[in-house]
Amino acid sequence: MAYFITDNCISCGCCADACPVSAISEGDGKYVIDADACLSCGSCASTCPNEAIVEQ
């Protein structure tokens, strides 16, 4: 199951740096996760300082 970035995102970029498959990119006002590329490893969620990343 892929992860999703909520509106709590502050666009710090920590999640993108932590993603081993580069499935996270800067979107309009917050970062977004490409669900097709996401491995559901949880690396992004564990590095997010704002707890803005949740499982879908």
- Using alpha carbons only, what angle is made at residue 42 by residues 49 and 14, rounded to the nearest 5 degrees? 35
Residue 56 confidence (pLDDT)? 86
Strand ranges (E), 1-56: 3-5, 24-26, 31-33, 53-55
pLDDT attached to residue 40: 95
Q: How far apart are CA 35 and CA 32, in angstroms?
A: 9
pLDDT digits (tens, 9 = 90+) for 1-51: 789 999 999 999 999 999 999 999 999 999 999 999 999 999 999 999 999
